[in-house]
Amino acid sequence: MNNPTGTANNPPVAIGYNGEFSQNKSSFREINADFLIGANRSLGDFAIDATFGGNRMDQTRDNLTVSVRNFYIRNLYT
């Protein structure tokens, strides 16, 4: 039975090859819709005014973030 313990550090690579790769994409969308309906009616000495309305709002957010450090082989992104 083999149960290794401890840590193993990767050896440093040549200067200029450690690098960093970062990518960020964000998008945001919002849709607002309003409506308002009004009516009035006169009945002799009386008047009726009515108003009805509403609102709808939809929001969508999408985010993608990628960050990589410590490249060990130049131009290899796996």
Q: Which of 18, 15, 30 is nearest to 61 (CA)?
A: 30
Q: Is the pLDDT of residue 46 over 70?
A: yes
Query: pTM of the full predicted structure?
Result: 0.42
Q: Which of 76, 69, 67 is nearest to 18 (CA)?
A: 69
**30 in Cβ contact with 56 (< 8 Å):** no
Q: Is the pLDDT of residue 13 over 70?
A: no
Residue 58: predicted pLDDT: 95
State CA 59 to chain mean position distance. Answer: 10
**11 in Cβ contact with 27 (< 8 Å):** no
